Amino acid sequence: MATKAAFKRLTREYQNIQKEPTPFIVTHPSEQNILEWHYVLTGPPGTPYEKGQYWGTLIFPPEYPFAPPAIRMHTPSGRFQPSTRLCLSISDFHPKSFNPAWEVSTILIGLLSFMTSEEMTTGSVSASESERRVLAARSRWWNSTGGGSHISATAGVTRTAKGINNVKAGDGGLKFRTEWPELDQENWAWMKEHRIDTSTGQILPDPDAPIKCSPDTSALRRRPNGSVPAFGGVMEGGNVAREAGQGWVRQHRVWIGVALFFGYALISRLLSDMRA
């Protein structure tokens, strides 16, 4: 439970944040516990996290602002291990270095700055730029579906002995939906608009889009004439073969006539010899 000083301080900070929002950052305390704050960072332009939606929590100690919060990022980013406490100078890993003058906005600005750097610490991971961009593109899907686990909707939100939320991929997006209902609705509308398979996060094929293929296979896609496709195909094939045969006879009719003449003469001579 928060002390009176912590409650008063965090209430005032939330009011200030509402009056003066910070770019790329939104945050609010949980309705059930003012010491539990939820944030969403939007990946800044020109970074591998551009347009990514990164959700996490700040868990403040009762003695805040004289002790720092535990910081976690639940959304896979390629920068931090999901739902793992991060070792930063502004986190509970370094309580002696925390400045009581720092506020929630200061902490989240520091987190965003560290995220866009390449400095390593406890809780951070290495990944390529392309991998981080893929995760950024899938971040909305992951947040609202629990990594696709909304299909089975298994309980995946657990609490440690300290009461700190550890959001797993198996929660079906329940915790995110509870804390960010407006963003969750936007995410589902976005997935529908972009034809995202909610179970896998992959783009579904558009049945109305033309299928590109080679000229040979394109020819196989042409429908034959006739009211019955199969019968029409046979009839058309027969007509083509017959026309092809007739065309060859017309083209070589002179040589065919000569061949018939000499053949007739040769057969007549053979018959005459046999009679003699």
Catalytic sites, residue numbers:
87
Dihedral sign for Cα atoms in the order 268, 269, 274, 276: positive
Report, in angstroms and rounded to the nearest whole number, the Rg of the chain calculated over CA atoms: 37
Q: For residues 2 and 207, what is the distance between their CA atoms, to the nearest angstrom? A: 55
The H-or-E segment that residue 115 falls in is helix 104-115
Burial 240-258 (b: 16+ CB within 10 A, else e): eeeeeeeeeeeeeeeeeee
Instruction: List C-alpha distances in Å: 261 to 1, 155, 270.
Output: 116, 94, 15
How many whole angstroms from its chain centre is CA 113? 25
